[in-house]
């Protein structure tokens, strides 16, 4: 099948037909056709480039209005993430195979249909899209935008990418085409309702559940590898809790999966990746090739903390096992492995680890009470003890991190100390 719509005029598109609101063209309100098309063929079927950057330049004002009414411009971060997904998961022979759900095209006008064997009622046959019909991408704009952007890069590459090596040959999109049944016209408002149905009538999966089933995200895989290693530190001290973001009241596990993931993201990629799961890392330290070595280094780091802290390591009353504590431990690893790797000798790193373990991680630490919340007098000890975490957000984490870096002696290597660093040092 050709790629351009002009070349598709008079060309049949193999498809399977179904209906909504009835079981035949006579009783149904809406019919749909399922087929498979490459990215270029989708663009050809549409007869235009659907990417948001082209909307204002569309010569057909009604088509432009349809997109601006129905669609949302695709965010750059999401497009980049989808491009990475295509390059890693949809390439030939990937480590983990990937796939896309069907994209959807809506038509305002009825289409031609020829069932197999000349039988009009057949569910299998060929579809003819009239040239004059308005056609719009209803769902899948981000997926198609990502692929078309990659194909644009191929077109501009020097030397040019050989046709048989193009990503356009890597996969085809499952495509569902919605069109009115004969005698039952649809309006742009009807298509708008379909768009709403597809995109907003969804129940969001809990983050903890999504993390449990997602095997493709390398940072999640790393957290699972560390948390489920039968001979690793986490298992030795109770294991990893997956049911929610925080440990349950009766939980005996060492850490929740989400807290361990924050540790991993910060350890591998630094503060930005830890603060936002959606942050895009241009050159991540964790990738398929580095996974085994980084896994061992992260395990060695935890073993080092465990050995130096002794029984204190698994005491949940200590703040190194709090959410913010795990995050800071990850960032200390990042400092040792990446930020200050050139300045620190192995002996220097050992000193940092000694000082890290020697920190007063208890809720009696006056400095941590000041940073994290409010303290009350503990009647058992007669000392002021952290009672509530009342200070949250980036500034609180910044203060905790700067305190730990100062106690470890890492602040001396930071050539651009923040205000919080200066306050702790003072």
- In tens, the pLDDT along 224-281 reads 999 999 899 999 999 999 877 788 667 789 999 999 999 999 999 999 999 887 777 7
- pLDDT, residue 210, reads 52
Measure the CA angle with vertex 242, ends 237 and 247; round to 5°. 65
The answer on pLDDT for 417 being more than 70 is no
- Identify how many contiguous H helices and E strands the chain contains and give both numbers: 17, 11
DSSP 342: T
Residue with tokens 């990446």: 338
Can you tell me the distance from the alpha carbon of 178 to that of 83, in angstroms, rounded to the nearest whole number?
27
Query: How many other C-beta atoms can be found within 10 angstroms of the C-beta atom of residue 178?
Result: 19
DSSP 145-190: HHHHHHHHHHHH-SSPPPGGGSGGGT--EEEEEEEEPTT----HHH
* pLDDT one-digit tens code per residue, 39-98: 999 998 888 999 988 998 888 888 888 787 766 666 777 888 899 899 989 999 888 889
The model's pTM is: 0.61
Q: What is the pLDDT of residues 346-356, one digit of tens each?
A: 999 999 999 99
Q: What is the dihedral of CA 206, 334, 239, 288, to 10 degrees?
A: 70
* H or E stretch covering 33: strand 30-37
User: SS3 of 249, please?
Assistant: coil
Residue with tokens 């009239």: 130
Tokens of 27: 């009783």
pLDDT of residue 172: 95
CA distance 7 to 50: 19
Pairing of strands 30-37, 173-180: antiparallel
């Amino acid at each position: 099948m050709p790629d351009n719509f002009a070349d598709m005029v008079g060309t049949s598109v193999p498809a399977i037909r179904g209906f909504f609101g009835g079981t035949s063209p006579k009783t149904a309100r809406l019919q749909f056709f399922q087929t498979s098309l490459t990215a270029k063929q989708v663009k050809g079927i549409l007869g235009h480039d659907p990417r948001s950057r082209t909307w204002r330049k569309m010569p057909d004002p009604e088509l432009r209005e349809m997109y601006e009414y129905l669609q949302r411009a695709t965010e750059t971060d999401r497009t980049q993430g989808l491009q990475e997904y295509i390059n890693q998961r949809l390439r030939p022979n990937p480590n983990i195979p990937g796939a896309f759900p069907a994209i959807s095209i809506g038509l305002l006008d009825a289409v031609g249909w020829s069932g197999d064997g000349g039988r009009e009622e057949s569910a299998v046959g060929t579809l003819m899209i009239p040239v004059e019909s308005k056609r719009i991408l209803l769902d899948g704009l981000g997926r198609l935008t990502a692929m078309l952007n990659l194909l644009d890069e191929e077109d501009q590459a020097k030397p040019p990418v050989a046709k048989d090596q193009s990503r356009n040959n890597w996969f085809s999109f499952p495509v569902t085409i919605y069109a009115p049944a004969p005698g039952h016209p649809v309006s742009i408002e009807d298509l708008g309702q379909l768009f709403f149905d597809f995109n907003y009538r969804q129940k969001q999966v809990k983050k903890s559940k999504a993390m449990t089933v997602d095997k493709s995200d390398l940072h999640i895989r790393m957290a699972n590898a560390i948390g489920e290693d039968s001979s690793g530190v986490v298992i030795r001290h109770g294991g990893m809790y997956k049911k929610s973001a925080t440990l349950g009241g009766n939980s005996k596990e060492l850490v929740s999966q989400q807290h361990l993931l924050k540790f991993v993201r910060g350890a591998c990629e630094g503060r930005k990746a830890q603060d936002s799961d959606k942050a895009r890392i241009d050159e991540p330290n964790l990738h398929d090739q580095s996974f085994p070595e980084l896994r061992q280094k992260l395990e060695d780091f935890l073993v080092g903390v465990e050995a130096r802290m002794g029984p204190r390591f698994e005491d949940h009353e200590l703040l190194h096992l709090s959410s913010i504590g795990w995050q800071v431990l990850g960032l200390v690893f990042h400092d040792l492995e990446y930020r200050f790797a050139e300045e620190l000798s192995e002996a220097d790193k050992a000193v940092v680890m000694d000082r890290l373990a020697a920190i007063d991680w208890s809720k009696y630490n006056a400095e941590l009470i000041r940073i994290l919340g409010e303290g009350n007098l503990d009647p058992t000890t007669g000392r002021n003890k952290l009672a509530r975490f009342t200070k949250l957000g980036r500034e609180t984490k910044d203060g905790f991190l700067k305190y730990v870096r100062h106690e470890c002696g890492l602040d001396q290597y930071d050539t651009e100390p923040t205000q919080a660093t200066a306050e702790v040092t003072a």
